[in-house]
Amino acid sequence: MKKGLMITVAAFSAIYATAQLEWEADFIRLGAHPLQEKMQVEFRYRNPGNQSVEMIRVDSSCGCLVPQKGPRTIAPGESGSITAEFMLRGRSGKQKKHILVTTDRNTQVPYRLDIEVNIPDSYLPSVKRVIWERAEAYESRTVRLTNHYHEPINLIEVLPSIGTLRTELKTVKPGFEYDLIITPDPGVKNLRGFIRLKPEPLSGEHKTRDFKVYVFVR
Predicted structure pTM score: 0.77
Q: What does the domain layout of the chain look like in residue ranges? A: 25-119, 123-217
Give bridge partners of residue 12 from the DSSP assignment: none
Q: What tens digit of pLDDT does each residue of 168-195 get?
A: 999 999 999 999 999 998 888 888 999 9
Confidence check: pLDDT of 4 > 90? no
Query: Is CATH 2.40.50.140 the classification given to domain 25-119?
Result: no
Q: Do domains 25-119 and 123-217 have the same CATH topology?
A: yes
Centre a 10 Å sphere on the Cβ of residue 72 and count the other Cβ atoms it contains: 14
Least confident stretch, 88-97, 131-140, 144-153, 155-164: 131-140
Domain 123-217 in this protein, CATH class: mainly beta
Q: Exposed, middle or buried, 109 (CB in 10 Å: 0-12/13-18/19+)?
A: exposed
Q: Taking residues 32-44, report their average pLDDT.
A: 94
123 closest CA partner among 34, 215, 39, 196: 34
> What CA–CA distance (Å, rounded) separates 75 from 61?
28
pLDDT band of 105, cuts 50, 70, 90: confident
What's the distance, Cα to Cα, between the start and end of the chain in Å?
86
93: left (phi over 0), alpha (psi -120 to 50) or beta: left
Give bridge partners of residue 82 from the DSSP assignment: 43
